[in-house]
Amino acid sequence: MRTRRSKSSGDPVEGIPPSSLGVSHHPNPVWDWHRSVLLHEVTTSLALKPDDVVVDATLGGGGHAREILSRLGKNGMFIGFDADEEAIERCRKLFSTQQAAVHFVHANFRNIKTELEKLNVGRITKALFDLGWSSFQLSAGRGFSFRSDEPLSMAYDKEQKLTAAIIVNEWGEESIADIIFGFGEERYSRRIAKAIVVAREQKPIATALELGEIVKGAVPSAYRHGKTHPATKTFQALRIAVNDELGALESGLAGAWEMLAPGGRLAVISFHSIEDRIVKRRFVRWAKEGIGELVSRKPIPPSDAEIAENPRARSAKLRVVQKI
């Protein structure tokens, strides 16, 4: 799971050289166009200290990782997770020389507790889940964008078997409609599912571009000409289903909380209401049980200035909880 979901932590334009933040320079243009959402708010809310043991559950393009590492000293530790092996390798090169101990883990954050135990990490003090997804994934050749003429995969991990192509070409119409409605909150889910089934009877739906056009043709004209592309919610739903993002989020939050030391903080950036409800319910439950304290009672939104500079940030919400 970005895995990023949306992993909308990656949006143009960054423009801040890594050398200015104490991160080793790498001759890669990534820093010219990768931008992490709510960067200042995250680092402030986490109250980072030089000796912290920090988990970044969704490395993505490394924007948050860069800022976190700039604040860790020689007694600190950083553990970065990502289900996308390309994200791991990219960050491994970008952060090759650091003061803090650095570990990169190619794994879904749902396995956070198991993977930390493998590293003999007994406790962490800070954790960040950025549920958006980086701009790198838009050009990863896996069909995340309805504008791309790419194979219809949508899998963060290239090795996993379930893909969006399997869902749209092999699953029943009712199951497809339920996914689109449940994970995408798409009001035209049944019309879209029917159009998908009709189209696949002619030939298999092979690319993201094909699917985007099918969805576009299935919805009313007024919906086609709205502010967002009519396939946006359908693609969100399929991506969530392919990567079991909601199940991974539940497991990841539980695992991170178990490994979090008293006084430690857990921060989550969500980008749509389904994710945010899961995070809110979990945080409120911990607070009611007397084992957690909400750092902010309401979610922290991006500033107007950030939204103006990076429109994709507009739907982001940051929630932070401290363990008692």
How many domains does the chain divide into?
A: 2
- Domain membership flag for residue 12: no
* Predicted pLDDT of residue 148: 86
Number of CB atoms found within 10 A of residue 32's CB: 12
- Domain membership flag for residue 265: yes
* Predicted pLDDT of residue 42: 97
Say if residues 36 and 30 touch (Cβ distance below 8 Å).
no
Residues 313 and 300 in one domain: yes
- Tens digit of pLDDT for each residue in 242-267? 999 999 999 999 999 999 999 999 99
C-alpha dihedral sign at 77, 79, 80, 86 = positive
Residues 155 and 206 in one domain: yes
Cα dist from 140 to 12, 61, 116, 249, whole Å: 16, 12, 28, 23
Which of 242, 267, 300 finishes a domain? 242
285 pLDDT higher than 70: yes
Q: How confident is the model at residue 161 (pLDDT cuts 50, 70, 90)?
A: very high
Q: When comparing pLDDT for 82 and 23, which is higher?
A: 82
- Domain membership flag for residue 298: yes
pTM here is 0.86
- Domain membership flag for residue 195: yes
- Please tell me what DSSP assigns to residue 301: P
Task: Enter the tokens of residue 119.
Answer: 């590293």
Q: Which residue has the tokens 């990490």?
A: 121
Residues 160 and 291 in one domain: no
Task: Enter the tokens of residue 60.
Answer: 């993505």
Range of the domain at 272: 18-136+245-323
Query: Could you tell me which residues come within 8 angstroms of residue 203 by beta carbon, excluding any fewer than 6 positions away?
Result: none
* Predicted pLDDT of residue 157: 84
- Domain membership flag for residue 214: yes
- Domain membership flag for residue 282: yes
Which of 186, 214, 242 finishes a domain? 242
Residues 152 and 71 in one domain: no
- What does residue 314 show for φ and ψ, rounded to 5 degrees? -60, -30
Which of 242, 268, 297 finishes a domain? 242
